[in-house]
Amino acid sequence: MLLHPWVVKSPQSFENPGTDYTRHNVAYWQKWERMLRYAREHDMIISAVLDIATHDDHVPAGSEDERRYIRYVVARLSAFSNLTYDLGDDLDSFRDEKWAHETGTLIESWDPYKHLASSHPVHIEHQDRASDWMGFTSIQEWSRRQHALMLEQRQIQLKTGRIIPQTNEEYGYEDHYPQWAPAPPGDSADTLRRTAWDIAMAGAYGTAGETCRRGTNIWPNTGGGWINGRGDDSMVMFKGYEHMVDFLTSFEWWKTEPHDELVNNDAYCLAKPGEVYAVYLPKGGKVAVKLEPGMYDAKWFNANTGETISLPSAEGATWTSPDAPGWLDWALLLQKHP
C-alpha cells in the first residue's frame, strides 16, 4: 500500500496518505517497467505479487477498485515475457479460496500471453491446484524434510489430473527470521544450500533469501539483503546454489522423474531410466544404482565447489560407485554412452 501504486495527496504521510484508488501512479508503474526490462536483459524472471490488503483492507475483496487495480497491472506488465503473477503473500490471511479462484481465472482471461500465475497462502492445503489458471504451486513450509515433502506435493498434484510445477517459496532465509524456524535464529548458507538440493532432487523448485544482517538497523542504514535489495559482495550464499544449477543443467533434467527406488544409502535420484541417472548423496559415501542394460559415462560432481571428476564407465544391473572423493555432499551423473 505505502509504495503508492495509486495517486496520493500526501505521499510523505504514513498514517493518512490520501489514496485515490481510481487513479494509478504512472511513475510507480514506469519504475516496474524499468525493473522488468533490466531483469529481462539479465535472464531473470520477476514475480509480481498482487498483495494489496494484508493488514488493513483498504480495497475490499471483489470491489470495483480492486478489479481495476489488478486489471491495470495485467494490462501494463503482461507484454514482458519475464513475469509471473502471484495473487498475494500469505494470501489466506486476508482472502478466501473462492476469491483466489475467481481472481486467478480473471487474470488468465485478461492476460493475452498466459503468464504462469500462482498464490502464496500460509497453509499448504489452500492451493487452487485443479484450476486452469494456476500455473505452479507456491507453498511455504519450513521443516528440514523437504525432499519427502515435495515428493508428497507432486503426488497430491498428480491426483488432480493436472501436472504443474511444485514450488516451496519459503523454506528459510539465511541467518534471519523467524525465530521459530529451524536452527534459530535462522539457517546457515550451507543448510539452505543442502535444502535446495533436497527440493530439486524431488523434481521440484524452491526460492530462498540471503542474509539481511547488514547495516546498523537505524535509518538510513537499515540493512541489506533480500529485505530491501541492498545486497553487497559479502553475500555469497547463492554461489553454492550456482553449482547445483550447473549440475542440473548439464543434462536434460526436464525429462527426468524422481526415482529414489533405484538407489540406496539414503541417496536421491532423478532419472530417465536407460538414458540418464542423476544421484545426490547428502552424506557422501558410495551408492548402488539399478541400471537399464547398457554402458554409461560416469562422473562425480562436488556439490560444494562444482568440480567434476571422471569415473570409469558404469554398467550392469546394479552398479556400485566408489566412495565419494570427499566427506561432504556429492552428486553423481550417469549418462548413456553414445
* Same domain membership, residue 14 and residue 108: yes
Instruction: Please give the backbone phi and psi of residue 192, each rounded to the nearest 5 degrees, phi first.
Output: -70, -35
- Give the Cα separation of 31 and 325 in Å (integer): 49
- Give the Cα separation of 300 and 332 in Å (integer): 5
Q: How many CA atoms lie within 13 A of 139 on its CB side?
A: 25
CB-based contacts of 220: which residues, under 8 Å, 6+ apart?
A: none
- According to the model, what pLDDT value does residue 57 have? 58
CB-based contacts of 19: which residues, under 8 Å, 6+ apart?
A: 1, 4, 6, 7, 8, 58
CB-based contacts of 6: which residues, under 8 Å, 6+ apart?
A: 19, 20, 21, 23, 24, 25, 69
* Same domain membership, residue 79 and residue 21: yes
- According to the model, what pLDDT value does residue 3 have? 81
* Same domain membership, residue 304 and residue 161: no
* Same domain membership, residue 208 and residue 65: yes
* Same domain membership, residue 140 and residue 260: no
Residues 91, 95, 98: CA angle, nearest 5 degrees:
115
| pLDDT tens per residue across all 338 residues of the chain | 678 899 999 988 888 889 999 999 999 999 999 999 999 999 999 999 998 665 555 788 999 999 999 999 999 999 999 999 999 999 998 999 999 999 999 999 999 999 999 999 999 999 999 999 999 999 999 989 999 999 999 999 999 999 999 999 999 888 765 566 555 556 889 999 999 999 999 999 999 888 776 665 555 555 656 666 667 777 889 999 999 999 999 999 999 999 999 999 999 999 999 999 999 999 999 999 999 999 999 999 999 999 999 999 999 999 999 999 998 999 999 999 99
* Same domain membership, residue 182 and residue 232: yes
- Give the Cα separation of 39 and 174 in Å (integer): 23
- According to the model, what pLDDT value does residue 297 have? 98
The domain total for the chain is 2
In a domain, 247, yes or no: no
In a domain, 170, yes or no: yes
* Same domain membership, residue 186 and residue 328: no
* Same domain membership, residue 200 and residue 266: no
* Same domain membership, residue 266 and residue 214: no
- Give the Cα separation of 117 and 108 in Å (integer): 8
301-314 burial, b at 16+ Cβ within 10 Å, e below that, comes to bbbeeeeeeebeeb
- Give the Cα separation of 118 and 91 in Å (integer): 11
Q: What is the CATH number of the domain that holds 148?
A: 3.20.20.80
Nearest residue to 336 via CA among 310, 320, 318, 314? 314
CB-based contacts of 103: which residues, under 8 Å, 6+ apart?
A: 70, 87, 95
- According to the model, what pLDDT value does residue 174 have? 83
The whole domain housing 16 covers 6-237
